[in-house]
Structure 1
Amino acid sequence: MNFSDMRSTALTVFVILVSILTSSCSVCDTDKLRDIPIPAAGSSPDRVVRAYLDALSARDIDTMRAISSANFFERQAGGPDAAICNLISLEKISIGTPHSDVYGPGGYRQVRTVLVSFVMEQHEEVSMENGWNAWGYILGRNSVHEPWLIIDAGVG
């Protein structure tokens, strides 16, 4: 195989890879529907969770990122069950009162859990079913001078 053939083959492989990646990304509609304000400094954990759920519904990735730890945001943005890509709608959202918790990835000194329930519709059911769901968000910070960040989530 000469250099010209190798270059032609490499270009063909590159075009195929770009096509595959582009087509798989087109399934994930991340076009922002509307802007959701980032909660003010000093906002309560339940207010941060409300903003997160509103941002998720509105596909406002910037606000989701701003109120999440980097690790949590990366987990939510990737994989087959990525909430950012898989969610169609959240309705009938109920947010509980925050309560102290001791668990918190990342070594945060102050940790709160906020339990929520909602009716969800997804493109594909992976870890949660469409319909009514109970869920919980864990928020952390190191001092009263820092904003609450969502650091984990799961079945409440």
Structure 2
Amino acid sequence: MTTTPRIDPPLAADETTMLTAWLDFHRATLALKCEGLTDEQLRTRPVAPSSLSLLGLVRHMAEVEQAWFVSRLAGQETEDIYWTEEDEDADFNAVDTADVAGAFATWQAQIALARAAADGLSLDTVAKKPARGREVTLRWILVHMIEEYARHNGHADLLREAIDGSTGE
């Protein structure tokens, strides 16, 4: 039984509606890939030598949501969620004893902040902080986030199948 609602994006809509619907679809897809698993299963890294786990993907996407929407787009000062100078990939690497419920709450909080940061803005809005030394628009951020989630949802498909055999879109 699934509890995460996932709404198919519309087949015809304005650009903002289309992009945000696809992003929400992919956000929900990652949640569905994690649904019904124990904390230990979410921490499992079943594809050696990779350090990827479903929990690591959730933690990573919390950081990505914050970086693109809150930090860059809105220009807010933020504190690193998982990144440390000692381990820049702590989102993926430090999952063995990580608080699973806390990680999911953090991810959902960052999604809410991301939505608030983008709410009412034109797709042509330039982010307050540059990315890679160049101006970036909300349109670019949305397309990038769809790509980021889609790529990691492919990873999540493989991880979930390796954990319990579950497959699906």
TM-score (ref. length: structure 2) = 0.26
Higher percent of residues as helix: 2
| Bigger Rg, structure 1 or 2 | 1
Q: Which has the higher contact order (CA 8 A, sep 6+)?
A: 2
Question: TM-score, with normalisation over the residues of structure 1?
Answer: 0.28
